[in-house]
Amino acid sequence: MGTRDEFEGIAEVAGGGLPESKVKADSTALMIIDMQYVDADRNHGLGLEGQKRGWTDDMEYYFSRLETLVIPNVKSLLDACRETGIHAVHVRVMNLAGDSSDTSWRYRMFGIFVPPGHKDAEIIPELAPLPGEVVLSKTTSSVFMSTNADFVLRNMGVDTIIMTGVVTNNCVESSTRNATDIGYRVLLVDDACAAWTQEGHDYCLRHLDRNFAIVKTTEQVLEEIAAASKKPGVAAAVAH
């Protein structure tokens, strides 16, 4: 091919791809994917399993990014949304049956069984849902394939999703692709997501940007939330 090594075809040919999109106070939800013990804590679930297999060094990049960057950033976004009245939607891996019989085929093959009540199903304390916030439990990569996420978001009047969590090129990417296919505007927050490698994270964001999402930083989204919250209608709603 030619000299433009970033050429990926569809977005370029199709008029530059998805348009700029912003947080709107009345129709935005913050979605937080899989920030739970099974995969977001180095001493539980996959982290613990990896340690036993001698992969501590391989996993250092991921857990370090979570602890120093992703968790604080998602927490900032969550705090800002709660203050502004933007809905938080927490997504986690969890099957519904105690015997895990409702687990998807793919998760069965991976040996990922996270029954209700198990520590692995618990969202990490920094990002724990408040009473009344929506929590969706899935056994698929995309939240839209095994939960009523679309129905819930549609009823809430949501058309824009601030997408965060893990793993960037697995569940976050699958959920982002589906969300945009359905018609949601996705703001994918670079420094509020993590993959197992920096290369995997970077490749994913480069590929999804303007193709399936608008990639932003936590700082940019916080500014948009602040701007959205200052609009009269919203201020009134929040005050009320």
- 127-186 residues near its own copies, rule: CB under 8 A: 131-136, 139-142, 144-148, 151-152, 154-157, 167, 169-170, 173-174, 177-178, 180-183
Counting contacts by CB under 8 A, is residue 72 touching its own copies? no
Rounded Cα distance between 58 and 51, Å, is: 10
CB of 169 to its own copies, least distance (A): 6
- Total residues contacting its own copies by CB under 8 A comes to 88
Closer by beta carbon to its own copies, 72 or else 115:
115
Phi, psi values for residue 50, rounded to 5°: -65, -40
Which residue, 94, 136, 89, is CA-closest to 119? 94
Least Cβ distance, residue 184 to its own copies (angstroms): 8
Distance of closest approach, residue 77 Cβ to its own copies, in angstroms: 18
Residue with Cβ nearer its own copies (18 or 189)? 18
- In angstroms, the CA 29 to CA 163 distance is 9
If one asks whether residue 55 binds its own copies (CB under 8 A), the answer comes out as: yes
Residue 187 lies near its own copies (rule: CB under 8 A): no
Q: Could you give the 3-state DSSP secondary structure of residue 131?
A: coil
- Angle of helix 218-229 versus helix 232-239 axis, rounded to 10: 80
- 120 in Cβ contact with 103 (< 8 Å): no
The answer to whether 232 contacts its own copies (rule: CB under 8 A) is no
| 105 makes contact with its own copies (CB under 8 A) | yes
Based on the shown chain and the rule CB under 8 A, indicate whether residue 61 belongs to the binding site for its own copies: yes
Residue 172: DSSP 8-state? I
In the set 26, 27, 72, 104, which binds its own copies (CB under 8 A)?
104
Contact 184, 157 (CB under 8 A): no
**Shortest distance, CB of residue 196 to its own copies, whole angstroms?**
3
| 169, two tokens | 């090129």
Give the interface segment with its own copies, choosing from 15-23, 72-80, 119-127, 226-234 (CB under 8 A).
Answer: 15-23
**CA–CA distance, 159 with 183 (Å, rounded to integer):** 8
Interface with its own copies, residue 226, by CB under 8 A: no
Instruction: Considering only the stretches 66-74, 95-103, 119-127, 217-225, report the one whose residues sit in contact with its own copies under the rule CB under 8 A.
Output: 95-103
For residue 170, give every residue at least 6 positions away whose Cβ sits within 8 Å of its Cβ, in sequence order, or none: 141, 195
Q: Which tokens sit at 67?
A: 């602890």
As measured in angstroms, the least distance from the Cβ of 2 to its own copies is 4
